Homo-oligomer: A and B are copies of this chain.
Amino acid sequence: MTAPNPALTLDLGDRSYPLYIDSNIIASTDIYRQHISGRNVLIVSDENTAPHYLPALTEALSGYRCTHLSLPAGEAHKTLATVSSIYDQLMTDRFDRNSTLIALGGGVVGDICGFAAATYQRGVRFIQVPTTLLAQVDSSVGGKTGVNHPMGKNMIGAFHQPACVIADMQTLTTLPERELKAGLAEVIKYGLIDDPEFFSWLETNLDNLLALEPASLTQAVTRCCENKARIVASDEREKGQRALLNLGHTFGHAIENACGYGVWLHGEAIAAGMCLAAQFSVALGHLPQSSLPTIESIFSKTGLPVTPPAEMTGKQCLDLMSRDKKVRDNVLTLVLMQGIGEAFLSNDYDQNILAKTLDSAFSGSTT
């Protein structure tokens, strides 16, 4: 049996790597064999994912010296302390620089494991095996790794590209419905950024995706990854256009932070965040008012929130946004829209209009 062909390649010179996107590939020994370095393999997973896929993956890697670490699940554990538990296991097992880490799980597992791989012995190889839709279309691709600081999300991290990404549609069948929907927020994001044709396709095919129809899922994940690969290849270190991928994220991170990480799922927070970005774009006169219901409608139909949490205030949101990584010398760059599929970066907007938009969008506590 030969290894399946990759769906696409992320082109980054000598750090280029393939993305495998298909059903029933998670235990394909042939894929792993091409991308593992050395004999030592540590699979990093979490308590939710391990029971489903670890047995098959471990068997597929029976030719290696393969160990496993299961992390506590959830964004609340995306901390330096959890990374430290990976270092401890690597040291205890005497893993050398020529070892391979495999991140088996969602975005949190991938970000933590990737950061451990970036910093263990100044960098070892790792493979992303994303098992959530969100991780498959976004966090597993592009080499952003890291953890949260108590005062801000993803504030500690590194760029470290994986050796390959293996996205198996089959894993989405065991995903809780709420997480599937949260992942669709990132899928819709690609349509909004610069792919209006894909946005239309999503409007037509949303039900197939919600019904986990494998061919539709493969098509959507591949399209998202093609878009992401193109943007990352042109701007690996986010000096410019890569920041478009943060559409809705500055607002969304503020929501996640205010509620406590994990209370709102990341996808839920950025769905509301994209609606806020759209409202602000309308208020500034960039986006036609008529686009707003189209945007809110696709999120609503997906079952995602289109308004921020009731207990937050606009001021609280602004304050949290000012800590964002995209702040440069006190100016916050935001991703705005001038149409569906026409997002752009702006650091030259009216602060008063931003404050007013947020004040009216966030009801705040009225007690």
Kindly supply a per-residue 1/0 record for chain A positions 143-174, scoring 1 wherever the CB is within 8 Å of any chain B CB and 0 otherwise: 01010010110011111000000000000000
A121 to B151, CA, bound (A): 12
A326 to B122, CA, bound (A): 12
Q: Any chain B CB within 8 A of the CB of A323? A: yes
What are 30 A-B contacts with C-beta separation under 8 Å?
Answer: A38-B328, A38-B329, A39-B329, A80-B84, A87-B149, A88-B149, A91-B149, A91-B155, A91-B323, A94-B322, A94-B323, A96-B325, A96-B327, A96-B328, A96-B329, A97-B328, A98-B328, A118-B158, A119-B119, A119-B146, A119-B158, A120-B156, A121-B157, A121-B325, A122-B157, A122-B325, A123-B158, A123-B159, A123-B237, A158-B158
Report yes or no: A122 in contact with B328, Cβ–Cβ below 8 A: no
Kindly supply a per-residue 1/0 record for chain A positions 79-107, scoring 1 wherever the CB is within 8 Å of any chain B CB and 0 otherwise: 01000100110011010111000000000
CB within 8 Å for A151 and B329 given contacts A119-B119, A122-B157, A158-B118:
no
Q: Which residues of B contact A38 (CB under 8 A)?
A: 328-329
A149 to B87, CA, bound (A): 8
Interface of A is mostly: mixed
A156 to B84, CA, bound (A): 10
Residue of A152, A156, A158 most packed against chain B (CB within 10 A) = A156
Report yes or no: A97 in contact with B325, Cβ–Cβ below 8 A: yes
A23 to B191, CA, bound (A): 59
CB within 8 Å for A159 and B87 given contacts A96-B327, A151-B92:
no
Report yes or no: B91 in contact with A329, Cβ–Cβ below 8 A: no
A119 to B118, CA, bound (A): 10
Shortest CB distance A323–B (Å): 6
A152 to B159, CA, bound (A): 24
Shortest CB distance A364–B (Å): 23
Give the total of A residues in contact with B, Cβ under 8 Å.
37
Q: Which residues of B contact A144 (CB under 8 A)?
A: 122
- Name which residue of chain B comes closest to A147, CB basis: B119
A146 to B38, CA, bound (A): 24
Shortest CB distance A83–B (Å): 8
Residue of A120, A121, A328 most packed against chain B (CB within 10 A) = A121
Known contacts A92-B151, A118-B158, A119-B157; 4 additional CB pairs below 8 A are: A91-B155, A96-B328, A97-B326, A119-B158
Kindly supply a per-residue 1/0 record for chain A positions 235-265, scoring 1 wherever the CB is within 8 Å of any chain B CB and 0 otherwise: 0010000000000000000000000000000
Residue of A96, A149, A151, A330 most packed against chain B (CB within 10 A) = A96
Report yes or no: A122 in contact with B91, Cβ–Cβ below 8 A: no
Among residues 96 to 136 in chain A, which have CB atoms less than 8 Å away from a CB atom of chain B?
Answer: 96-98, 118-123
A29 to B190, CA, bound (A): 46
CB within 8 Å for A155 and B121 given contacts A84-B80, A149-B87:
yes
- Name which residue of chain B comes closest to A39, CB basis: B329
Shortest CB distance A65–B (Å): 10
A94 to B321, CA, bound (A): 11
A325 to B149, CA, bound (A): 28
Shortest CB distance A108–B (Å): 17
A270 to B96, CA, bound (A): 22
Report yes or no: B39 in contact with A87, Cβ–Cβ below 8 A: no
Q: Which residues of B contact A329 (CB under 8 A)?
A: 38-39, 96, 98
Shortest CB distance A345–B (Å): 15
A86 to B88, CA, bound (A): 22
A146 to B39, CA, bound (A): 25
A347 to B63, CA, bound (A): 25
